[in-house]
């Protein structure tokens, strides 16, 4: 956007719909509604409407259409604010909720103070396409899990049990343990599970290639035990620009791995983690934390940190330890990405010992 065009004189709110979007234009100075109407939710319609307009501040809600809409509007030279509607109570909890009212509320909030919209920043088109591969893989993994659970449940109902095994080998291990009467019902399901497993492997190969060819920084993250190509690539694509964060510690909060806050006066109750941010990346980091704390994890500062928390005992001590390690892991990965340092799994331990030796001397 060309900064020489000055400050916007008009603020717009766009409530994006699948077929039509509702527009409300407000004068930046007086706050009076200048125009209301609707237009088709297509790139062509948006370009026709906004390409010839003077600089506007346009507020839209985050959703299915918001990535491409924000790109089109920015190409037309406008300032675009993508509102996090879950945090804007005026929008999500309005008793009189209509598309027209939402559009006007977006415009008025953007006119008053953009920070009230808790604006998000969408990824670029290439990053969005690569993230779509990851989410498609995740969708297949979810389908496979449902089918595996269906087969196990059906076999249990006949008084038998299937052996424990990874989902990727389930379609090979299960057939010999299935009762004869259930074979006509379950063999087609096992074939489908096998097909899904092969498609998931195809996605894994694609993502591995993309990581090496387009995102070399993932190699920095994969220095950490428990971080594979999928988690490293998802981390890079989700954050996209590591310099968005002034401090690495902010990444844990961005991904919803810190406790929510509900403080009022002297009241400050202990809350669970906020679970804001990208759910899939949070789940992947928690999975990596489970590996680090599990039987195959090597000794490291991360593992010791989790074991220390778990050793305190109490209700859900192990769960708290896993979340704490996931939070530390998010901070560490960001730090490695920014600094491009060689990872030392015992850096904190060695530093502490060095300080103690210097103090003793």
- Over the stretch 47-59, which tens digit does the pLDDT of each residue have? 999 998 899 999 9
Average pLDDT over residues 296-310: 94
Which residues neighbour 323 within 8 Å (Cβ) at sequence distance 6 or greater?
257, 273, 286, 289
If one compares 124 and 331, the residue with the highest pLDDT of the two is: 331
What are the residues facing 23 on neighbouring strands? Answer: 14, 37
pLDDT grade for 165, boundaries at 50, 70 and 90? very high
Residue 264 scores a pLDDT above 50? no
Measuring CA to CA, how many Å separate 292 from each of 180, 224, 249, 325? 41, 10, 20, 8
pLDDT value at position 37? 94
pLDDT value at position 91? 67
Residues 184-232 have pLDDT tens digits of 999 999 999 999 999 999 999 999 999 999 999 999 999 999 999 999 9
The proportion of the chain whose per-residue pLDDT surpasses 70, expressed as a percent, equals 91
pLDDT value at position 147? 98
Per-range mean pLDDT, top range of 97-111, 262-276, 322-336: 322-336
pLDDT value at position 326? 96
pLDDT value at position 116? 85
Per-range mean pLDDT, top range of 2-16, 23-37, 89-103, 272-286: 23-37
The answer to which of 27-36, 111-120, 145-154 has the lowest mean pLDDT is: 111-120
pLDDT value at position 86? 67
Average pLDDT over residues 70-85: 91
pLDDT grade for 4, boundaries at 50, 70 and 90? very low
Average pLDDT over residues 72-99: 80
pLDDT value at position 57? 95
Average pLDDT over residues 288-315: 93
Average pLDDT over residues 167-192: 96
pLDDT value at position 352? 85
pLDDT value at position 322? 95
pLDDT grade for 130, boundaries at 50, 70 and 90? very high
Measuring CA to CA, how many Å separate 349 from each of 172, 299, 306, 308, 328? 45, 11, 14, 14, 15
pLDDT value at position 1? 44
List the end-to-end C-alpha distance of the chain, in Å, as a whole number. Answer: 59
Residue 261 scores a pLDDT above 60? no
Dihedral angle of Cα 227, 229, 230, 236, to the nearest 10 degrees: 90
pLDDT value at position 95? 58
Residues 132-157 have pLDDT tens digits of 999 999 999 999 999 999 999 999 99
Averaged confidence pLDDT in the chain: 89
pLDDT grade for 274, boundaries at 50, 70 and 90? low
pLDDT value at position 2? 46
The answer to which of 134-143, 164-173, 255-264, 349-358 has the lowest mean pLDDT is: 255-264
pTM score: 0.75
pLDDT value at position 241? 87
């Amino acid at each position: 956007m060309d900064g020489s065009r000055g400050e916007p004189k008009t603020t717009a709110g766009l409530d994006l719909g699948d077929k039509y979007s509702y527009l409300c234009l407000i004068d930046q100075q007086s706050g009076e509604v200048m125009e209301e109407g609707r237009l088709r939710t297509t790139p062509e319609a948006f370009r026709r409407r906004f390409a010839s307009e003077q600089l506007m501040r346009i507020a839209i809600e985050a959703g299915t259409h918001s990535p491409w809409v924000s790109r089109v509007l920015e190409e037309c030279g406008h300032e675009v604010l993508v509102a996090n509607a879950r945090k804007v109570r005026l929008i999500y909890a309005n008793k009189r909720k209509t598309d027209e009212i939402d559009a006007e509320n977006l415009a008025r909030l953007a006119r008053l103070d953009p920070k009230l919209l808790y604006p998000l920043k969408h990824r670029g088109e290439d990053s969005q396409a690569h993230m779509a591969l990851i989410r498609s893989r995740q969708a297949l993994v979810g389908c496979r899990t449902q089918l595996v659970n269906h087969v196990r449940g059906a076999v249990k109902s006949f008084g038998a049990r299937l052996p424990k095994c990874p989902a990727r080998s389930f379609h090979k291990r299960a057939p010999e343990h299935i009762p004869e009467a259930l074979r006509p019902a379950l063999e087609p399901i096992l074939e489908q599970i096998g097909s899904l497993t092969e498609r998931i492997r195809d996605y894994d190969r694609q993502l591995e290639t993309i990581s090496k060819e387009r995102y070399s920084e993932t190699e920095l993250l994969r220095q950490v035990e428990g971080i594979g190509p999928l988690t490293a690539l998802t981390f890079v694509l989700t954050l996209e620009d590591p310099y968005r964060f002034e401090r690495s510690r902010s990444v844990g909060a961005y991904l919803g791995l810190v406790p929510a806050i509900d403080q009022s006066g002297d009241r400050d109750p202990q809350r669970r983690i906020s679970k804001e941010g990208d759910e899939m990346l949070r789940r992947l980091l928690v999975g990596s934390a489970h590996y680090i704390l599990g039987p195959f994890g090597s000794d490291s500062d991360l593992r010791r940190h989790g074991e220390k928390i778990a050793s305190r005992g109490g209700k859900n001590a192990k769960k708290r330890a896993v979340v704490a390690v996931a939070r530390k892991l998010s901070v560490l990965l960001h730090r490695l990405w920014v600094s491009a340092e060689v990872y030392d799994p015992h850096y904190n331990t060695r530093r502490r010992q060095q300080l103690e030796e210097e103090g003793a001397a």
